[in-house]
Amino acid sequence: MRLRTAAALAALALTLTACGGGDEQGDLGSGTPDTKPTFEAGTTMARIQSAGVLKVGTKFDQPLYGEKQLSGDVEGFDVNVAKILADELGVQPEFTEAVSKNREPFIQNGTVDIVVATYTINDKRKQVIDFAGPYYVTGQSIMVKKDDSAITDKAGLAGKRVCSVEGSTPAERIKTEVPTAKLTTFDTYGKCAEALKNGQTDAVTTDEAILLGLVSKSPEDFQVVGEPFSEEPYGIGLKKGDQPFRDFLNDTLEKAYEDGRWEKALKDTVGTVQDQLPSPPPVDRYTAAG
């Protein structure tokens, strides 16, 4: 564990940009389809198909969702969802590291086709990008040291030092709902976990499944306490106004809900630390503003 933390720290400092491997084999799809699906010329799907890769922005430091392994492969639930989508297009996914604060520019600039990166759907983000999904709903929770019994719920965070990731929804929520909490925000949860271990913060707060991922790496140090106190729908970020592409992504998600691919993707990842898995959330085909 300690080694992994050290490696993660070094990696975070050294890799400002990282490149995803282009040769990952999707192990969730039905293999190479006999006939590639065809799309209308001029659509994003047709462009991606001719490019041969689906460019995906995902977290590289998010255990269970998107985490780069020492082998170079990225693994996690988000990664699996992206593989399902790429499979449906008949192309390979290519992963690029997306951190919370660069997700919108990545989409706007076309650095990636989609962002699948524990990306909470909210109205502010909807102003600059669009979301397909949600494909997963989680809730904000609290992680403390294993031997800490002082903090048991959100109210217990008052006046305490709390760590989260900058620009993230949980960080914003703590600011408004527990204004007396002394919030520290880093660029990765790994630093928050290390700070908790060192006694530099009293609690870490973010989506429960992410906290479970951290606990799974350090069960002797951490524990998750209390009930989730929010509803975080994770969506797939795409360029604003690309309605055909959004429909395609939503259709694919619904298909994956039906045929069990979604469930398998979740079970292989989040399911390794959480027994009670949620059922798939209905996709929200909202009408884009503007």
Partner 1 sequence: MGLSTITDNLDVYVEGFVGTVTLTALGAAGALALGTALAAMRVSPVATLRAGGLLYVETLRNCPLPVLVVLMAFGLPKLGETFLWSFFAYGAVAIALYHAAFVCEAVRSGIGSVSTGQGEAARSLGLPFGQVLRLVVLPQAFRTVIPPLGNVLIALTKNTSVVALIDVTDITNNTELIINDTVDPIFAVLGSACAYLLLTLPMGLLVGRLEKRAAFAR
Per-residue DSSP letter, 288: P
The CA distance from 185 to 8, in Å, is 17
Q: Is 127 in the site for partner 1 (CB under 8 A)?
A: yes
Stretch that binds partner 1, among 88-96, 125-133, 249-257, 281-289 (CB under 8 A): 125-133
Q: Provide the pairing of β-strand 140-145 with 222-225.
A: antiparallel
Per-residue DSSP letter, 25: P
Residues 87 to 116 in contact with partner 1, rule: CB under 8 A:
101, 104-105
Instruction: Write b or e for each residue in 35-54: b if 16 or more Cβ atoms lie within 10 A of its Cβ, otherwise e.
Output: eeeebeeeebbeebbeeebb
Instruction: Kindly state the tokens that stand for 285.
Output: 């085909």
Residues 8 to 47 in contact with partner 1, rule: CB under 8 A:
9-10, 12-14
Q: Is 59 in the site for partner 1 (CB under 8 A)?
A: no
Q: Is 271 in the site for partner 1 (CB under 8 A)?
A: no
Q: Is 3 in the site for partner 1 (CB under 8 A)?
A: no
The residues, any chain, with a CB within 8 Å of residue 6's CB and separated by 6 or more, are none
* Residue 11: CB minimum distance to partner 1, A: 11
* Residue 170: CB minimum distance to partner 1, A: 13
Q: Which is nearer to partner 1, 48 or 117 (CB)?
A: 117
Strand partners, 95: 56
The CA distance from 23 to 65, in Å, is 19
The residues, any chain, with a CB within 8 Å of residue 27's CB and separated by 6 or more, are 83
Q: Is 194 in the site for partner 1 (CB under 8 A)?
A: yes
The CA distance from 266 to 272, in Å, is 9
Q: Which is nearer to partner 1, 240 or 261 (CB)?
A: 240
Q: Is 191 in the site for partner 1 (CB under 8 A)?
A: yes
Q: Is 179 in the site for partner 1 (CB under 8 A)?
A: no
Rounded to the nearest 10 degrees, what angle do helices 243-259 and 77-89 cross at? Answer: 110
- Count residues contacting partner 1 (CB under 8 A)? 25
Stretch that binds partner 1, among 37-45, 180-188, 237-245, 274-282 (CB under 8 A): 180-188
Q: What is the binding site for partner 1 (CB under 8 A)?
A: 9-10, 12-14, 101, 104-105, 124-125, 127-128, 166-167, 172, 184-187, 191, 194-195, 198-200
